[in-house]
Chains A and B, each alone.
Chain A
Amino acid sequence: MKKIPLYGKILIGMALGMIWGLSAESLGLIEFTTAWIKPWGTIFINALKLIAIPLIIFSLIDGISNLSDVSRLSRIGGRTIALYLATTVLAVTIGLLLVNVIEPGKFLSAEKREELSQAYASDMDMRITSAHDVKEDGPLQILVDIVPDNIFGSMTNNTNMLQVIFFAILFGIAMIIAKPDKVKPVKSFFDGANEVILKIVDMIMRFAPVGVFALLASLNIDLQLMKALGVYSLNVVLGLAVMVFITYPLILKFFTRFPYLKFVKGILPAQVLAFSTSSSAATLPVTIDCAEKNLGISEEVSSFVLPLGATINMDGTSIHQGVSAVFIAQAFGLDLSLGQQLTILFTAVLSSIGAAAVPGAGIIMLIIVLEAVGIDPSGLALILAVDRPLDMLRTVVNITGDSTVATVIASGEGELVGDKGQKSPD
């Protein structure tokens, strides 16, 4: 048992859970399942929720305050960050467009959706949020709601993610502005705490096989659900494909005229590694190596742009967040307004800045997005099963995006050794 990698165990837990869920009804084990198995799923979801707010606070503060070092470190900092943000926004938008067109959640019948939202959603939360929205319907209420009047009050409730994000950004920026020697202890505290939170995520993910088993076992699984999940997965894969085969080539063509085929060939080793590790951080050395040796990007650019990208630029993860959030909402029979979709865009971009470059962190970030639009995060149970293979694919997109931006920057700096036909624009 020790030797099986975590995702293998999660898959096993998932398979066992499905088998249990399918057979429980016929064996008359429904009550037993509710009493003795479902609680473990609840504990798992609780643990994930528990970590969301600390993660947001520490990772965003840490992430933003790190940006200062880099923008000071190099004059290309601002441009890199802007490009990263732009590709991330693009990615989330693509994901949102696709999921709204394909509507994988609609592959579930209305009764099924009702059943799901009853089984999982602590409906209360959602109703309260929507009631609140309707009542104080001023057009700028969304903005007003983002600024909390008491940060500790906001932190005590998981539905106030945006307020916490707002405060964390404020704090992070203030740290950049404050005197460096005064801020140093604060920064190293947040650095370390961030690391600790990531370890907690690790520990929780180790519990994931049991949690996934319990969640799926207490779920009434049928073909319909599996079909919807399949369409959802295809939807994510499609979004990733659009990014890699259309958006990036266009960007490269537009800004550099660097042949895309050569680009893909150059970073293929990094992509393979990304696929097998699911971790941009672990892949980083290879990405840098590919960028320098195969693409001819100078070390000065790659050593700055790529590590930064591994931390804040996660195009694949962002696509996944957009698609998953809307899918879960659809599965609960919840119609998302334009405002809510914008909130998804906003939180997904911000949380990709905060998200660490390790496997599993994406799930927690998804909780943040879900809570921000008022969807019960228990819906995660639906997609956890297929998360790992999708995680592998989206990491490929993450590092491809990083490399694309690195190429654009290098080209703009006239540093691209192998860039035929492109004159540096001094």
Chain B
Amino acid sequence: MKKIPLHIRIFIGMLLGIILGILSIVFHLGPFVTDWIKPFGTIFINLLKLIAIPLILVSLISGVSNLKDMSKLSRIGGKTLSLYLITTVIAIVVGLIAVNSIKPGNFLSKEKQMELSAKYANDANLRVTDAQKLKESGPLQVIVDIVPDNIFGSMSNNRNMLQVIFFSILFGIALIMAPEQKGIPVKNFFDGVNEVILKIVDIVMHYAPVGVFALLGALIVDFAGDDPKQALELFSALGIYAITVLLSLALMVLVIYPLIMRMFTHIKYKQFTKAILPAQIMAFSTSSSAATLPVTMECAEKNLGIKEEITSFVLPLGATVNMDGTSIHQAVTAVFIAQAFGHDLTIVDQLMIILTATLSSIGAAAVPSAGLITLVIVLGAIGVSPEGLALIIAIDRPLDMCRTIVNITGDAVVASIVATTENGFQKIEPVN
């Protein structure tokens, strides 16, 4: 058991969960699964939610305060950052467009959607927000709502993600402005806690096989009741969802990036792809931009000929703040879950997705599955119950592998643009 890598174990948990679900339908074990198996899935979801606020608080403070050294270190800091932000926003928009036109959630029948939302969404929450929104609907209320009057109050509720984000950014910027000597212990503290939180994520993910097993088993039982045919409906919707994610990722890599490269650099995209292929393969197999970073840097320097002074700054920063693939995934998934719950998202909700997904991609750490937790953040911000994660968690890992490729490709694209504008290329032998 020890030797099997985590993602395989998650996969096994998934399979066993499906088998359990089907068996319990056949043998009418539904109540047993609901009483004795489902709670372990709920525990898993709770764990993910538990870690969301600490993660956002600490990783954003630590992340924002790191930017200072960067922007001081180099005047290309601002340029890099804005490029990263722009590609992230583009990625999210691509995802939103794809998911809104394909509508994978609508492959579920209306009754099914109702049933799902009744089962998973603590509907009360949703209604409360809606009612509140209607009541105090000053046009600027959205902005007012972002500024909390008590940060501890905000932290005591997972729905106030934006307020926590606001405070963390404020704190991070203030940390940059504080006298260095005084600021260092604070920064060390948050850096350390950040590391601890990431380890907690690790621990939680170790529990993932069990959680996924329980979630999937319960999902099928909940979904199908005693009728196996209905399970098929669920899987087809999930399949379409996965295809939507993959399609958007492909759009990014095969259309958007080439366009950007063409507009801002003289590098041929084919040559570019060839150069970073090793990093892409590594990204696919590790699902971690951080783990891939050394390879990405090597590819950028040796194969693309970007000077080390640029790669050593742009790429590590990118591994932390630039996650185009993850952002696409967040957008598609958030909307998919909302659709599956029969929840219509307004333009404001979609804008909220762009905002939170962008911000949380800055905060999200470059480790596998952190995206799942930031997804909780995005869902919370638009008032969709994060329980809906149960729907997609099973197929998250393969998608995670694919989106990590997009993440590091985006980093490399930005590095190339920065190098072009900063005259940062050295002579290289052409890649054959």
- Give A contacts to B, CB under 8 Å: 34-36, 39-40, 42-43, 45-47, 49-50, 53-54, 152, 155-158, 185, 188-189, 191-193, 195-200, 202-203
Contact = CB atoms under 8 A, between A and B. Distances in A.
15 contacts: A35-B138, A39-B141, A40-B140, A43-B143, A50-B147, A50-B149, A50-B150, A152-B152, A189-B185, A189-B186, A189-B189, A192-B187, A195-B178, A195-B179, A200-B174
B147 A46 contact: yes
Interface string B93-122: 000000000000000000000000000000
A181 to B, nearest CB: 15
A197 B174 contact: yes
B183 A53 contact: no
A39 B178 CA distance: 29
Contacts of B182: 191-192, 195
B149 A192 contact: no
Contacts of A196: 171, 174-175, 178, 183, 186
A156 to B, nearest CB: 4
A218 to B, nearest CB: 12
Nearest to A155: B152
Interface of B: 138-141, 143-144, 147-153, 155-156, 167, 170-171, 173-175, 177-179, 182-187, 189
Nearest to B175: A196
Of the candidates B150, B173, B175, B189, the one having the most CB atoms from chain A within 10 angstroms of its own CB is: B150
A50 B178 CA distance: 19
B149 A156 contact: no
DSSP majority for the A interface? helix
Contacts of A191: 182, 185
Contacts of A155: 150, 152
B185 A192 contact: yes
Nearest to A152: B152
B186 A193 contact: yes
Contacts, number: 90
Nearest to B185: A188
Contacts of B138: 34-35, 39
A65 to B, nearest CB: 14
Contact of B147 (A43, A189, A203): A43
A35 B139 contact: yes
A52 to B, nearest CB: 8
Contacts of B173: 199, 203
Given A46-B144, A203-B177, 11 more contacts: A42-B144, A49-B150, A53-B152, A155-B152, A157-B153, A192-B183, A196-B178, A200-B171, A200-B174, A202-B174, A203-B173
Given A39-B144, A43-B147, A156 B156 contact: yes
B153 A156 contact: yes
Nearest to B177: A199
Contacts of A49: 149-150
Contacts of A40: 140
A61 B344 CA distance: 48
Contacts of A50: 147-151, 167
A117 B156 CA distance: 29
A46 B149 contact: yes
Most buried by B among A34, A188, A197: A188
A128 B174 CA distance: 35
Contacts of B170: 200, 203
Nearest to A159: B150
A191 B180 CA distance: 12
A192 B150 contact: no
Nearest to B178: A195
Given A199-B177, A203-B170, A47 B147 contact: yes
- Counting from the closest, the 5 A-B pairs by CB-CB distance are A192-B186, A199-B174, A39-B140, A188-B185, A155-B152
A203 to B, nearest CB: 7
B139 A36 contact: yes
Contacts of A36: 139-140
A203 B167 CA distance: 12
A269 B26 CA distance: 92
Contacts of B150: 49-50, 53, 155-158
A34 B137 CA distance: 12
A43 to B, nearest CB: 5
Nearest to A192: B186
Nearest to B166: A50
Given A50-B148, A156-B150, A203-B173, A39 B143 contact: yes
Contact of A43 (B144, B151, B178): B144
Contacts of A34: 138
A197 B171 CA distance: 7
A157 B154 CA distance: 10
A195 B177 CA distance: 9
A198 B171 CA distance: 10
A195 B149 contact: no
A364 to B, nearest CB: 13
A43 B148 CA distance: 8
Contacts of A157: 150, 153
A196 B168 CA distance: 12
Contacts of B177: 199, 202-203
A198 B183 CA distance: 12
